Amino acid sequence: MAVDYLYYLRADKLPHMWCPGCGVGVVVKSMIGAIDQLGWEKNDTAVVSGIGCTSRAPGYMDMNTLHTTHGRALTFATGVKMAAPDKHVIVISGDGDATAIGGNHFIHACRRNIDMTLIIVNNNIYGMTGGQFSPTTPYGAKAATTPHGNIDPSFDLAQLAIGAGATYVARGSVDNARMVQKYIRDGLAHHGFSVIEVLSNCHTQYGRRNKMSDPITMVDWIASQVVPRNKAEKMSPEELQGKIITGELHRNAERPEYTDEYRKLIERVQAKQAARAGARP
Amino acid sequence: MSSGHSDKSEIVFWQGNEVVAEAAIAAGCRFYAGYPITPSSEIAAVMAERLPEVGGTFIQMEDEIAAMGAIIGASLAGKKTFTATSGPGFSLKMENIGYACMAEVPCVVVNVMRGGPSTGLPTALAQADVMQARWGTHGDHPTIALAPAYHREIYLCTIKCFNYAEKYRIPTMLLLDEVLGHLSEGIQVPDPSEYEIFDRVKPSVPPEKYFPYDSSFGDVPPMATYFEGYRFHVTGLNHNRTGFPTTDPEICQQEEMRMIRKVMKDAEQLAEYEEYRMEDAEVAVFSFGSTARGARVAVDEARKQGIKVGLLRAITLWPFPDRKIYELARQVKAFVVPEVNLGQIILEVERASHRDMPIVGVNRVGGVPIPPGEIFNKIKEVARDGR
Amino acid sequence: MSANRFEARFSAVGGQGVMLAGDVLAYAAQKYQGRYSIQSPTYTAQVRGGPTKVDVIIDDEPIIYPKTTAINFFLSLAQGSYNAFLYDLRDDAIVVVDPHLVHKWDPKYRTYEIPVIELTKNHVGKVIMTSVVALGIMIELTHAVPKEFVEKALLEKAPKGTGELNLKALNLGYATAAELVTVQG
């Protein structure tokens, strides 16, 4: 059955503020598709973001939406989820927001394993502020603040999430929207902290400075780099040079989920209290 | 006078920090997020112990910024929330304190003040964050900050902070200092009949007619809770009544003015103070927090020597008791303003007095309280030669 | 501030557990003796190993100024804390130092050398009880709060199952001080 996208959107807020051809549209559409597949109620779902182009997404979504401060989306989301553990909380963020200014919150959210989903739209650049390099800008690339080429090493966001303890980690790319939706759906369904990195295009800020100023060229460039995990497993290290592996990269159903643990803690404390009260004459 | 109690059999012996935590629970707080910092850490420890007992949630976050973010998020999900910190952590929280002002999200921030700037004196007294409490976050914004001096008053002021947060939809501040935070004092826990509990006003209209910043309901618009069908949008950007961003200069100005007005129109009621031996006073000592306790002893000592001096002790620092200072400036010939900083609140006394008169500070920043004798000497000096 | 204001200071280095003495004393005075009391600790940045103290003030009137102004009794278990906290003492203050750890003290004050830690180790068995022995010494020397109230408060504050041992420590303090008073007093 076709998804009624407008049902999930605040239609009166359209047209959106993103550049034509921006990859974030693919992500938002995939997100709605995934929510629809899972049958989540709009009233039961909160979408939280920080600052940046991607972080404008919640404004268009007809849910409980929270556009917070730069890098802090996960901290607000943690409060929302801990206060309402039976509700759904999704965080959508960019590479700079999630892993530079929000890097500390990112690794600790992974460590805690609260049942939330973080979607990072990784376009390798700070788009909204005018194209400065981010923690994922490739070596040598041009940005507003790397006019002589980028010398900053970059993060592998998926590996960072796995290392920090996220219990579902996947990476997709905007050239393959179907898989992006699948990873988001699986991440939302996963009971624990899930991270989905989506490689995306910012032809306006990144592409323009790096000879890919139209969306098609830039999405083609992304597509040329990605290798699905099952294919990558059969490739040699030489063949994988310069490639980015996509797919479900990590899943751990064993680690306890945090709100479950906290609920058990409350039960434990209250049982002890009741026992004490009972023991009193 | 708040330190007295009638029935000594029912007293508890609590640290100031414990008083805050217990009062928060009495106020209905069911969510705490924090980060360890001296000298406020005991508040977190008590909340970690007590909140699960009442079905509430405690979470220790990765940093101060995160703790502030978490209490805003939890407040939007309907909880009464607070966090506690000290100077360096207060600095870090400023970003999201501004967010709570802008998005009009109720929450309480406790700052047990210690020596500064920077790491300063982690285990020692200061009262040097009073201007930061007012102006610490960028941009124009409303502030309510209470600075109690006695443990029973700390209890009641903590509850008031929650009430004001809920009533005005703002982050309110409770300013203690290291001396009060660590001081154990026997108190009789106030009976619930002695205070009111205020809960935020929720919308009376159905979701399709709800706007989160609808001033047709007054300067403090009703606040919906997430997941209850209202599906509203919250942002730190300037926004219109619908909660969505706008850059329209007229709307931005109107909304910012409403945010300030909602508090300042009640400034006089909010600005609580205690007058002590002020009736015929010719010199007024103006003080707050633990310093005001030493100031009171100094006033008694000076009275013994026939000096007509009284104490005006601010319980609310923000909004500042402008009118009271204005009136007093026409009664007394001088103000003495002891504070454990190099002269912050004295600037407000000067401003609010609207009079060229002797207004003299007694200041220390070494981490120790101002001894009553030092305040007494200044009173004597001022009473004698006006300066 | 009434004429009956009593101020005591117990000082040590962090980790010696001296805070308990202050807790029990203040609690006994207010809860059982019906007077007013406050207890106010001072920490240094490092919780363990730095000089620490706890001040107790007991008065017949509500205590307005919560800091010491004229200390009646000062006890120190370490040179560092002795040096750091020897202030606000009345001229007639009683001072107790542990001679194994405090070697240099000011003869201006009436000072008793009592090896509190060693005594505790030998007669109570647990060094953590030093603070309770110190409290017993103080009570015997000053009679600041009647013994029965101190004992009641101690039993209430002591961890479960340690009541007897705590009383033993308290009595050791009484006895040690009583002997001193007889010999030196």
Q: How many domains does chain C have?
A: 1
Nearest Cα to Cα of residue B111 among B166, B171, B61, B51: B171
The verdict on a CB contact (< 8 Å) between B13 and C30 is yes
Quote the CA–CA distance of C13 and C50 in Å, as a whole number.
5
Which pLDDT tens digit goes with each residue over B327-381?
999 999 999 999 999 999 999 999 999 999 999 999 999 999 999 999 999 999 9
Residue B10 confidence (pLDDT) above 90? no
**pLDDT reported for residue A249:** 98
Q: Are strands B334-339 and B283-288 parallel, antiparallel or unpaired?
A: parallel
Residue C47: pLDDT band (50, 70, 90) is: low
Q: What is the mean pLDDT of residues C25-36?
A: 94
**Is B52 at the interface with chain A, CB within 8 A?**
yes
Same domain flag for B55 and B121:
yes
The verdict on a CB contact (< 8 Å) between A80 and B79 is no
**Within a domain: residue C159?**
yes
Which pLDDT tens digit goes with each residue over C148-180?
999 999 999 988 899 999 999 999 999 999 998
The verdict on a CB contact (< 8 Å) between C65 and B182 is no
The verdict on a CB contact (< 8 Å) between C36 and B186 is yes
Same domain flag for B213 and B310:
no
Q: Which subunits count as partners of chain A given 3+ CB pairs below 8 Å? A: B
Which chain A positions have a beta carbon within 8 Å of B234's beta carbon?
65-67
Q: Report the CATH number that the domain containing residue B183 is assigned in CATH.
A: 3.40.50.970
Name the residue range of residue C160's domain. 6-184
Residue C184 confidence (pLDDT) above 70? no
Residue B9 confidence (pLDDT) above 50? no
**Is B354 at the interface with chain A, CB within 8 A?**
no
Quote the CA–CA distance of A135 and A97 in Å, as a whole number.
10
What percentage of chain A carries pLDDT values higher than 70?
Answer: 99
Which residue is listed with tokens 């898989």? A179
**Within a domain: residue B287?**
yes
**Within a domain: residue C1?**
no
**Is B239 at the interface with chain C, CB within 8 A?**
no
Q: Where would I find the beta strands (DSSP E) of chain B? A: 11-15, 31-34, 57-60, 81-85, 107-115, 121-125, 145-146, 171-177, 184-188, 233-235, 273-276, 283-288, 309-314, 316-318, 334-339, 359-363
**Within a domain: residue B200?**
no
CA diameter of chain B? 70
Q: What is the mean pLDDT of residues A185-213?
A: 97
Residue B52 confidence (pLDDT) above 60? yes
Residues 6+ away with beta carbon under 8 Å from A132: A96, A125, A126, A143, A144, A145
* Residue C35 C-alpha, separation from nearest chain B C-alpha, in angstroms: 9
Quote the CA–CA distance of A10 and B280 in Å, as a whole number.
65
**Within a domain: residue B372?**
yes
Same domain flag for B152 and B216:
no
**Within a domain: residue B3?**
no
Residue C44 confidence (pLDDT) above 80? no
B92 — phi, psi (to 5°)?
A: -65, -30
Candidates B25, B57, B99, B208: best to mutate against A (most CBs of A within 10 A) is B57
The verdict on a CB contact (< 8 Å) between A78 and B244 is no
Distances in Å between the Cα of A119 and the Cα atoms of A168, A183, B147, B170 are: 12, 10, 43, 30
* Residue B309 C-alpha, separation from nearest chain A C-alpha, in angstroms: 49
**DSSP-assigned letter for residue A185:** H
Which chain B positions have a beta carbon within 8 Å of C26's beta carbon?
13, 184, 186
**Within a domain: residue C110?**
yes
The verdict on a CB contact (< 8 Å) between B186 and C37 is yes
**pLDDT reported for residue C46:** 53
Q: What is the mean pLDDT of residues B43-72?
A: 98
**pLDDT reported for residue C3:** 81
Mean pLDDT of chain B: 96
Q: Report the CATH number that the domain containing residue C82 is assigned in CATH.
A: 3.40.920.10
- CATH class of the domain comprising A5-255: alpha beta
Candidates B39, B297, B371; nearest CB to C1: B297
Same domain flag for B259 and B353:
no
Which residue is listed with tokens 């009583």? C178
Which chain C positions have a beta carbon within 8 Å of B11's beta carbon?
30-31
- Answer yes or no: are the C-beta atoms of B56 and B195 closer than 8 Å: no
Q: Which subunits count as partners of chain C given 3+ CB pairs below 8 Å? A: B
* Residue A265 C-alpha, separation from nearest chain B C-alpha, in angstroms: 7
Name the residue range of residue B126's domain. 8-194
Which pLDDT tens digit goes with each residue over B24-44?
999 999 999 999 999 999 999
Residue B8 confidence (pLDDT) above 50? no
Q: How many domains does chain B have?
A: 3
**Within a domain: residue B290?**
yes
**Within a domain: residue B199?**
no
Distances in Å between the Cα of A224 and the Cα atoms of A124, A135, A181, A220, A267 are: 16, 21, 20, 6, 53
The verdict on a CB contact (< 8 Å) between B72 and A76 is yes
Which pLDDT tens digit goes with each residue over A37-86?
999 999 999 999 999 999 999 999 999 999 999 999 999 999 999 999 99
* Residue B24 C-alpha, separation from nearest chain C C-alpha, in angstroms: 22
Q: What is the mean pLDDT of residues B222-228?
A: 98
Residue B110 confidence (pLDDT) above 90? yes
The verdict on a CB contact (< 8 Å) between B8 and C31 is yes
- Answer yes or no: are the C-beta atoms of B18 and B42 closer than 8 Å: yes
Q: What is the mean pLDDT of residues C113-141?
A: 95
Distances in Å between the Cα of B345 and the Cα atoms of B130, B321, B323, B361, C145 are: 7, 11, 15, 9, 41
Same domain flag for B232 and B184:
no
**Residue A27, helix vs strand vs coil:** helix
Domain boundary among B163, B194, B225: B194
Residue B6: pLDDT band (50, 70, 90) is: very low
**In the structure encoding, which two tokens stand for residue B293, read together?**
């306790």
* Residue B328 C-alpha, separation from nearest chain C C-alpha, in angstroms: 24
* Residue B185 C-alpha, separation from nearest chain A C-alpha, in angstroms: 27
Q: Are strands A88-94 and B316-318 parallel, antiparallel or unpaired?
A: unpaired
**Within a domain: residue C168?**
yes
Q: Which subunits count as partners of chain B given 3+ CB pairs below 8 Å? A: A, C
The verdict on a CB contact (< 8 Å) between A43 and B228 is yes
**pLDDT reported for residue C181:** 75
Q: Are strands C71-76 and C89-97 parallel, antiparallel or unpaired?
A: parallel
The verdict on a CB contact (< 8 Å) between B186 and C69 is no
Quote the CA–CA distance of B74 and B62 in Å, as a whole number.
16
Residue C45 confidence (pLDDT) above 70? no
The verdict on a CB contact (< 8 Å) between B66 and A105 is yes
Residue C183: pLDDT band (50, 70, 90) is: low
Residue A280: pLDDT band (50, 70, 90) is: low
The verdict on a CB contact (< 8 Å) between B70 and A66 is no
Question: Residues 47 to 66 of A: which have CB under 8 A from any B CB?
Answer: 48, 58-59, 62-66
Residue B225 confidence (pLDDT) above 80? yes
Q: What is the mean pLDDT of residues B300-326?
A: 98
Distances in Å between the Cα of A79 and the Cα atoms of A84, B57, B290 are: 8, 10, 33
**Is B287 at the interface with chain C, CB within 8 A?**
no
Candidates B2, B184, B277: best to mutate against C (most CBs of C within 10 A) is B184
Q: Which residue of A has its CA nearest to B94?
A: A69
**pLDDT reported for residue B4:** 39
Q: What is the mean pLDDT of residues B172-201?
A: 96
Which chain A positions have a beta carbon within 8 Å of B106's beta carbon?
none
Give the number of other Cβ atoms within 10 Å of residue B217's Cβ.
14
Does B12 or A102 have the greater pLDDT score?
A102
**Within a domain: residue C145?**
yes
Give the number of other Cβ atoms within 10 Å of residue B129's Cβ.
25
What percentage of chain B carries pLDDT values higher than 90?
Answer: 95
Same domain flag for B239 and B328:
no
Provide the CB-side half-sphere exposure for A153 (13 A, CA). 2
The verdict on a CB contact (< 8 Å) between A65 and B76 is no
Candidates C31, C40, C45; nearest CB to B183: C40
Candidates C36, C40, C65; nearest CB to B297: C65
Same domain flag for B117 and B186:
yes
Predicted ipTM of the assembly: 0.97
Distances in Å between the Cα of A257 and the Cα atoms of A74, A158, A253 are: 16, 20, 9
Which pLDDT tens digit goes with each residue over B252-277?
999 999 999 999 999 999 999 999 99
Same domain flag for B36 and B144:
yes
* Residue C121 C-alpha, separation from nearest chain B C-alpha, in angstroms: 30
Q: Which helix (H) or strand (E) holds B198?
A: none
Same domain flag for B261 and B282:
no
Taking the CA atoms of residue A11, residue A15, residue A20 and residue A22 in that order, the dihedral angle to the nearest 10 degrees is -50
Quote the CA–CA distance of A255 and A110 in Å, as a whole number.
11
Which chain B positions have a beta carbon within 8 Å of A62's beta carbon?
231
Q: Which residue of B has its CA nearest to A62?
A: B231
Interior CA angle at B133 toward B132 and B139, to 5°? 75
